[in-house]
Amino acid sequence: MEWIEIRIKSTSEAVELLTGFLMIKGIPNIRIIDDESMDRFLLDHPLDWDYKDENSTNKPGTEIIFYIQEGDKGLLKGIEVGLQDMVSSIPEIDFGALEFTYGPVNDDDWLHEWKKTYKPFEIGDKIIVCPCWEEEYTPDPEKIVFTIDPGAVFGTGLHSSTQLCVIALESMNLQNKKILDIGCGSGILSIISILLGGHSAMACDIDPGAVRCAEENARLNNIKISKYTTQQGDIFAEEFLQNETYDVVVANIVADAIIGLSPIINKFMKENGLFIASGIIDERIEDVRNALRENGLDIKEEWQKDGWFCCVARCNIESN
């Protein structure tokens, strides 16, 4: 399978808007190179190659990097048109050049090479994430092992925002609880919620590749089909997941998407249900807090790590 690397030159000011737009378009993992603040905004990327050579004289400024399959050129055209529309509609934001560059990425050289450095690691007090190719790993018998094949670009659990969600799930009593994982990627959060005692989980994502990846990871962890279901589609679509409500909803996405979800999230939640919202940079946490409160969600707990925030809010509005 051939992949294309796309780089967009922009500005630090526009990173949040551009990344939120790309995720809504179905690009789940994005790498940011930002000379003004290198680690300010970084989404989970399986390569974990986000670095800057401090001695380099060829500084890239701010670049947004993501990957699509070679056959998805229609998606790329839609992204280009959508970004130009965004520039026109938000003139107060400096988007910079928005210059696109493209390059092929060979599957053998890229998608498998990173496996050499992706080793088992712990999250929180209970969870060990173990890649499926680690045959010699012997886990602590007191721990819960989540076995993962991250797929091409659907998440590894290494990112701080994902780990904060796992810590939040660990803090809850999930027995007999139904969980909804919005933007599930490789299914890390929904599968771990079942391993922690959850009754069942629904994993949804706009990207069909992510849904397939989540299903495969559920099989790797011996999750029964009756406990784990998936749905491909747009959570903002009126008909999506109609008449289904959940005890816990988790969304590890970006601040703008969480703010957009806030007015409608209660329709997916049982009364007094919990909403775990993560992927929020410190500069946007107050915006997210305000959006949650304005839509009847009371923030009960917050965690932060490496400049990222995770909120747990309780729904106090009767679900539709």
Q: Please give the chain's pLDDT, 320 residues, in tens.
A: 567 888 899 987 787 778 778 866 767 557 777 654 434 433 443 333 333 333 333 344 688 888 777 777 788 888 888 898 888 888 888 899 899 988 876 655 555 655 666 788 899 999 999 988 887 788 788 999 999 886 655 567 778 889 999 999 999 999 999 999 999 988 999 999 999 999 999 999 988 888 988 999 999 999 999 999 999 988 888 788 888 899 999 999 888 889 999 999 999 999 899 999 998 988 889 999 999 999 999 999 999 988 889 999 998 765 44
Q: How far is CA 153 from CA 67, 111, 235, in A?
A: 8, 8, 20
The answer for residues whose C-beta is within 8 angstroms of residue 314's C-beta and 6 or more apart is 272, 273, 274, 275, 297, 298, 300
What pLDDT does 303 receive?
95
**Cα(175)–Cα(168) distance, integer angstroms:** 15
Long-range contacts of 111-119 (CB under 8 A, 24+ apart): 111/1, 111/3, 111/152, 114/46, 114/47, 114/48, 114/49, 117/48, 118/46, 118/48, 118/150, 118/156, 118/158
Quote the crossing angle between the two packed helices 160-170 and 188-195, to the nearest 10°: 20
pLDDT for 167 equals 96
Q: Which amino acid is at 71?
A: G
Beta-carbon count within 10 A of 281 CB: 19
Predicted pLDDT of residue 288 = 96
Please spell the DSSP secondary structure of 52-113, one letter per residue.
--TT-SS---EEEEEEEETT-HHHHHHHHHHHHHHHHH-TTS--TT-EEEEEEE-HHHHTTG
The pLDDT assigned to 151 comes to 60
DSSP state of 198: B
Provide the pLDDT for residue 45. 35
Cβ distance 246 to 15 under 8 Å? Answer: no
Q: What is this structure's pTM?
A: 0.70
13, 94 contact by CB (below 8 A)? yes
With CA atoms as reference, report the closest residue to 182 among 248, 252, 243.
252
Q: What is the pLDDT of residue 229?
A: 96
Residue listed under structure tokens 């390569």: 47
